[in-house]
Structure 1
């Protein structure tokens, strides 16, 4: 363990710009410095209980150290330790370089207790930071909660497009909350047509249920999404200040979910949950942000807060499985997926999740039956036929696979993924090669920037003997997707066939770096012996 301490210290120096050395004068003795270093090491190792406790002791020993306070603040938000986060924030407030998201915590705490004055003060502090785009919408919710007119705050969004968008969504929800349902729904619909996120509909539906307007809520939540289906059973919310603030912070956390901004995502999601603990949607976002930050135990703990009766229960289960699988805990993920698939009342999503986990473990024969259940549940879904056909192919049943893949293409003749899979599989086997090439050409025309489809088309040309047309497609695909072992192998085969032996061996050896053990063995043999005569 001691070997981990020094690298962790270096990471903290980079992150905090002050570093481990700056704590020494503030700490009373080397034991206090050890608390800080051990907390950092525990943080790096994922031992979250020790990390939070260690930073708390370090902050107590160095109550004015900004470097310690920054780490303690981040650790506390990740752990949900409000007391430690509040202590750390008090040290950082007013310090040069203090985190821009610092006002989120007092904002959330004030919103949770319905303290409009406290929320207003926190909003004023937030307005001077890059998160100031939230201020007009926050002030609108504060005005509504204070029984004042929120319109001036909405208009204060000015010309900033992000602030305007958030303010328009806030206006729609406040219109519904005030009982002006027709106007609110019209605003929601107008925003949907310009690309609003689904959580606007979720929030509007909750408010409509809270008003007793069940038919309007269910109409707004129409669709096959399992969350929407569960919400249609009724998920009422009251338009409290906590609800409004939580919805707004969660909205931004959702926007950041796919970006490399885990610290801000965690801060937004955690404070959204503090403001309104019933927000299971934001629990999912928090779990995702924590998992992305490699805090897997904390991500799983966040998911524990979503009960079996929650509309988000099935999504939480799928998220748990995905987090475990990504963390290399595939057997745990598979066991949970199996339990979900075999439970009474299990549906397509549960079967799909279990089949996907079986596929990830190369247990394709077992996956076939579960994908078949998904197909039988909705025989019009091309994607279900595609996955079923893929599992059959991997299980070694090509005739049945081909029939399933043909069904997928018949249902969705303009879907590049279906065209690519069937065209490539047939070309590899020398079946209906002209027709296969035609399918791949159509797929490439529909999705010209997809490197896998470009490689498939190039490989089909190669197999048909048209090397000249194959080369630019495979070369471009390999240049775009440098870690795809299959594309790299194709490039090596093409170069060898063209007499470019050195480049072929280089391509095969590069491909072996990201190949499976079986593929790597084949590539090593090619690099040593070349291709056999055709």
Structure 2
């Protein structure tokens, strides 16, 4: 428990002048620690009321308000920070979105200009072009057609130049400009949807439907809900730009920026459900599980991406550690008439995570059958691996061999089959060659390094095994299997003190059955080698 003195010391002086101010701040900190973003934002808002110039309170209020979706508080807080010249660099993005939402072009241009001093300078030409769209989309497109040295800028400029050409009712030029991206990013739904919405708004329904061609449940739903499309505007272009950029920020370190961008996108276009998916993903990665669930709950059943929202919720539940709920939802998605290969595969993944290996193997088998003979090597590896874990080695072996045959240069396939054979003492020399090939392809992988060393150990080549196992353990000090293997090798090498040390390291992270076996080794060592 944290004492009252420690809590009071953590509160900025200006916010602790009255007991109710201190209480609001403490409540907010506690709610933030519990992941209750709505309550935390409310508490920080009350603390900011009492200490309107306090930078620490304003900064916490700003970040928590973005998580909670309290945009009024987020904007209020960021303005306090800007007045004190203490605003984070990304604040310009939020204020730009707010200005666009309020149709304040002058303010929007001012905030767009601020982008030039930061890492998002590549966005500025695109932002400026969309802010000019009311003066004529053709003029805005021409403004954006100039070359860009930055490779990342070229990708976004190419897309938005094409969208502006479509907005200017030059569909042929727009579609031709998009073709390189459509080839290289075939699965980019945002790219296709944005173009389709503008084409439909201009009356080019056939082209719009073509952009959303395909038989996946989502594409079918989007075609059915496309309607009259969306008219070109700064709100349209910049909301799409924000959402796309947010979805591209895969690093967990960048998820707060992704959250801000997704919130900004929705500020400019509250009807844009694609941004809600991106927002939910970012919030989930930040650990804001209830906020992520709320974002998904606002996507209605009539939305063209309602099924995608269920798929995203499956991921959100899984990340939140709600394995049973995630598995139940995955089963429902995999069982309905519109189930895709990926839905069934994801169900298999969650069954495997739950150690229900026989059922996982069945799911992977169904996924393979759904591909009509075009399943990739990874699905065969997953089905074979699930059968092997279920104890059916005879059924697993041909599937694992097929995976290696299909992908002879895939280290993960080579490693799985090679290690499984070594463990069973089957054709160890051939298995060792397979593992050495995997290690050559991926020399810094500790799991593969361990497998090669274990093959040496199984053949009595302990002196060769030990340095490889030491290297693997150094790379993955918390890996139970690697540390146990290292302990075994040390013992056979006569280094018994070090062996027990390695086994103890393994036991720290081991689950019950493994921990019991390790304790036996620590107490009694290994039986004499045969």
- Which TM-score band (shorter chain)? 0.7 to 0.9
Number of residue equivalences: 523
Please name the residue that 1:324 is paired with.
Answer: 317
Per-residue displacement from partner, 1:104-145 (whole Å, max 9, x unpaired)? 233223333554334223323444444443222100111123
Q: CA deviation at 1:515?
A: 2.4
Please name the residue that 2:128 is paired with.
Answer: 139
Q: Secondary structure at the match of 1:513?
A: helix
The answer to whether the 8 Å contact 2:463/2:493 transfers is no
1:154 aligns with 2:144: yes
1:284 aligns with 2:284: no
Per-residue displacement from partner, 1:350-400 (whole Å, max 9, x unpaired)? 222222222212122332322221121124322222111111111111111
Q: CA deviation at 1:20?
A: 2.7
1:380 aligns with 2:374: yes
1:433 aligns with 2:428: yes
Counterpart selection for 1:183 from 163, 169, 173: 173
| Alignment partners' CA distance in 1, 2:208 and 2:409 | 35
Q: Give the CA RMSD over aligned residues.
A: 3.1
1:510 aligns with 2:488: no
Q: CA deviation at 1:297?
A: 0.4
| Alignment partners' CA distance in 1, 2:338 and 2:80 | 52
Q: Secondary structure at the match of 2:132?
A: helix
Question: Is the alpha carbon distance of 1:55 and 1:116 closer, same or farther for their aligned partners in structure 2, counting shifts above 3 Å?
Answer: same
| Alignment partners' CA distance in 2, 1:4 and 1:120 | 49
Aligned pairs for 1:468-487 within 5 A: 468-487=463-482
Question: Is the alpha carbon distance of 1:188 and 1:522 closer, same or farther for their aligned partners in structure 2, counting shifts above 3 Å?
Answer: farther
| Alignment partners' CA distance in 2, 1:230 and 1:403 | 40
Q: CA deviation at 1:495?
A: 1.8
Q: Secondary structure at the match of 1:404?
A: helix
Per-residue displacement from partner, 1:6-55 (whole Å, max 9, x unpaired)? 77778xx6xxxxx5334235xxx211221111111111112233222212
Q: CA deviation at 1:191?
A: 4.9
Counterpart selection for 1:343 from 332, 336, 341: 336
Q: CA deviation at 1:404?
A: 2.1
Please name the residue that 1:529 is paired with.
Answer: 524
| Alignment partners' CA distance in 1, 2:82 and 2:280 | 27
| Alignment partners' CA distance in 2, 1:351 and 1:6 | 54
Please name the residue that 1:16 is paired with.
Answer: none
Aligned pairs for 1:27-426 within 5 A: 29-147=18-136, 149-150=139-140, 153-154=143-144, 159=149, 162-191=152-181, 198=188, 199-211=190-202, 213=204, 216=207, 235=226, 236-378=229-371, 379-381=373-375, 382-426=377-421
The answer to whether the 8 Å contact 1:286/1:302 transfers is yes
The answer to whether the 8 Å contact 1:5/1:41 transfers is no
Q: Secondary structure at the match of 2:2?
A: helix
Q: TM-score, normalised by structure 2?
A: 0.88
Per-residue displacement from partner, 1:277-324 (whole Å, max 9, x unpaired)? 233332222112212222110011112223345454444323322322
| Alignment partners' CA distance in 2, 1:387 and 1:511 | 26
| Alignment partners' CA distance in 2, 1:445 and 1:225 | 40
Q: Secondary structure at the match of 1:288?
A: helix
The answer to whether the 8 Å contact 2:130/2:140 transfers is yes
**Bigger mean CA offset, 260-269 vs 302-311:** 302-311
- Structure 1 unaligned spans of 5+: 14-18
**Bigger mean CA offset, 502-511 vs 295-304:** 502-511
The answer to whether the 8 Å contact 1:257/1:288 transfers is no
| Alignment partners' CA distance in 2, 1:532 and 1:329 | 42
The answer to whether the 8 Å contact 1:157/1:163 transfers is no
Please name the residue that 1:489 is paired with.
Answer: 484
Q: Secondary structure at the match of 2:434?
A: helix
The answer to whether the 8 Å contact 2:37/2:65 transfers is no
| Alignment partners' CA distance in 2, 1:162 and 1:335 | 40
Question: Is the alpha carbon distance of 1:175 and 1:533 closer, same or farther for their aligned partners in structure 2, counting shifts above 3 Å?
Answer: farther
**Bigger mean CA offset, 126-135 vs 295-304:** 126-135
**Bigger mean CA offset, 419-428 vs 508-517:** 508-517
| Alignment partners' CA distance in 1, 2:163 and 2:461 | 60
- Structure 2 unaligned spans of 5+: none
| Alignment partners' CA distance in 2, 1:66 and 1:506 | 49
Q: Secondary structure at the match of 1:3?
A: coil
The answer to whether the 8 Å contact 2:266/2:272 transfers is yes
1:21 aligns with 2:13: yes
Q: CA deviation at 1:79?
A: 1.3
Question: Is the alpha carbon distance of 1:532 and 1:207 closer, same or farther for their aligned partners in structure 2, counting shifts above 3 Å?
Answer: farther
| Alignment partners' CA distance in 1, 2:212 and 2:428 | 46
Q: CA deviation at 1:426?
A: 1.4
Question: Is the alpha carbon distance of 1:309 and 1:469 closer, same or farther for their aligned partners in structure 2, counting shifts above 3 Å?
Answer: farther
